[in-house]
Chain A
Amino acid sequence: MAYLDISQVGISFSRGGRTSEVLRDVNLVVEKGEYVSIIGHSGCGKSTLLNIVAGLLRASTGGILLDGREVNAPGPDRAVVFQNHSLLPWLTVRENVSLAVDKVFSGKKSRTERKAWVEENLTLVNMMHAAEKRPNEISGGMKQRVGIARALAMEPKVLLLDEPFGALDALTRAHLQDQVMEIHARLGNTMMMITHDVDEAVLLSDRIVMMTNGPSATIGEILKVDLARPRRRLDLVEDATYVHARAAVLEFLYARHALPALAA
């Protein structure tokens, strides 16, 4: 049985009497422990889809089942790593993570267990050294690592990543991608990631979901990436499967579903 089941999801926004359909008939099944990337041009509604899964937006049509239960509100079982980290600037790194841990495990773990759990997750992303720093005292990559720690600490059934590395420089991004792969290998989380970076999608994903352009965007094609894990970016540069997958995604994005403005 499917772990995360997105069926017939569509969403429309109406503003000033005009209704615009952003997503239509989105169907996607994600298995437990799978790493799925959603890629598409800007404005195709991929972030909207992630927000629907997170419960931050309500779908106009269709529905989502996670582990057999319907999703209709936000919750810690679908933790989100936000694109701009969304750490609370008045709390230290440790407090940001423990805000989540204390809330999610208030009845289930003792105070000392929660403290240890916060530190375990900060250690997982190598941020224990900056635990007492505030977000504006650490770099962008570090903030994103804390955001990942906060999300992981909720022990979500599915981890939602909304362009998690989009605002980072290329070197930091590669470093964080490796860390996320390592965490995925170690913990076996189910992950759903929004990205607009083809290499990132191919490197990290088990499957790549390619979205058509909006309005009324939907899933155009799903590509399975048959690369053994652990994956090392240097080994993959000339790997035939990698090159082929990369070409397929590029072909989808820039030949078959190029943005009208770019095609002209």
Chain B
Amino acid sequence: MSTTAVKLAPAIRTSAEAQASARRGVAAPPATRLSTAAAAASEPAANPIGPRLAALGRSVATNVVPPVLVIGVLLVLWELLCHRPGAGLPPPSRVVTETWDLIVDPFFDNGGTDKGLFWHISASLQRVFMGFSIAVVVGVALGTLVGQSTWAMRGLDPLFQVLRTVPPLAWLPLSLAAFRDGQPSAIFVIFITSVWPIIINTAVGIRNIPQDYRNVAAVLRLNGFEFFWRIMVPSAAPYIFTGLRIGVGLSWLAIVAAEMLIGGVGIGFFIWDAWNSSKMSEIILALVYVGLIGFVLDRIVAFAATIVTRGTSAQ
């Protein structure tokens, strides 16, 4: 039986041997086959690595294999459809070869707008970061006001409901007229796009603060500031973060369109520039980056939400 154990699980034997020698605290003497096999057989619990690796492998397999498979099939389909000469889009193989320089060197800077993708994307991210940050502050503040005061809700809610349906780019001419510069205009468009879901979700969160918590605050005589930080924000945090997630997604949607119009450095302008020079491959590469970064932004906000709202869900 011990020989079958050795044959079936060489990995088990080595790990058990390593642990056994470590426990002895001295360099293990060169063990014979038989003694190590006996150690493996007598210590079934001293083998946590093998099954854990297997479980990890299984979870990777179930989560990674399907998307990889689907993407592979789609790429092959795309390659087949666009491979013939005269196709409207380049096949993936040509996209990679044509944009290889951009992929391997995202950091070059030849002055003007002739920069690597890293610089374009970071310029776009900076605008989103600024516009979104302003939107968070203003959105949470206005949402708190609307959620807390019935009068403010009656006065402001109709306004919000109408303004939030205005498409982001419709604000651009107005903001260009007001700021007379591309950079603040783009930031304003990001702000005005992402602020509505933050306002509305915060207001719902504030309105849903249980009366019990308000009673506790009243008995303790918390002042407005304490009530805001100790009760309102934690209690409404799940709602606020829902608004933030929608908001960050919308800002990333809006920045590309806004940058196409205002020009300068930015991923939106990069796409427009590539279109003007008929570089389809570069557009496709840029779209891949835009999609991946949008995904990462969403994940970051979601991650922040899980940390901040840990334990805020009432039983």
In the complex, whether B105 has a CB less than 8 A from a CB of chain A is no
> What is the chain A residue whose CB lies nearest that of B221?
A75
Total CB contacts across the A-B interface at under 8 A: 62
Q: How many angstroms from the CA of A74 to the CA of B222 in the assembled complex?
A: 11
Whether B315 and A86, one on each chain, are in contact in the complex, defined by CB atoms closer than 8 angstroms, is no
> Which A residues lie within 8 Å of B315 (CB)?
89, 135-136
Q: How many angstroms from the CA of A88 to the CA of B230 in the assembled complex?
A: 9
Whether A89 and B312, one on each chain, are in contact in the complex, defined by CB atoms closer than 8 angstroms, is yes
Whether A82 and B212, one on each chain, are in contact in the complex, defined by CB atoms closer than 8 angstroms, is yes
CB distance from B183 to the nearest CB of A (A): 39
| 8 Å CB contact of B311 from A82, A99, A134, A154 | A134
Whether B219 and A74, one on each chain, are in contact in the complex, defined by CB atoms closer than 8 angstroms, is yes
CB distance from A136 to the nearest CB of B (A): 5
Whether B311 and A90, one on each chain, are in contact in the complex, defined by CB atoms closer than 8 angstroms, is yes
> Which A residues lie within 8 Å of B213 (CB)?
86, 88
Also in contact, A86 and B215, with CB within 8 A (given A103-B226, A136-B315): yes
> What is the chain B residue whose CB lies nearest that of A87?
B216
In the complex, whether B313 has a CB less than 8 A from a CB of chain A is yes
In the complex, whether A54 has a CB less than 8 A from a CB of chain B is yes
> What is the chain B residue whose CB lies nearest that of A89?
B314
Interface range on chain B (Cβ under 8 Å from partner): 20 to 34
CB distance from A89 to the nearest CB of B (A): 5
Whether B212 and A100, one on each chain, are in contact in the complex, defined by CB atoms closer than 8 angstroms, is no
CB distance from A88 to the nearest CB of B (A): 6
Also in contact, A80 and B215, with CB within 8 A (given A88-B231, A88-B234): yes
CB distance from A146 to the nearest CB of B (A): 12
Also in contact, A86 and B313, with CB within 8 A (given A56-B218, A76-B220, A103-B221): no
Whether A103 and B313, one on each chain, are in contact in the complex, defined by CB atoms closer than 8 angstroms, is no
In the complex, whether A250 has a CB less than 8 A from a CB of chain B is no
> Which B residues lie within 8 Å of A74 (CB)?
215, 218-219, 221
In the complex, whether A79 has a CB less than 8 A from a CB of chain B is yes
- Contact pattern, A 74-99, Cβ under 8 Å of B = 1, otherwise 0: 11101110101010111000000001
Interface residues of chain A, those whose CB is within 8 Å of chain B, are 54-56, 74-76, 78-80, 82, 84, 86, 88-90, 99-100, 103-104, 134-136, 154
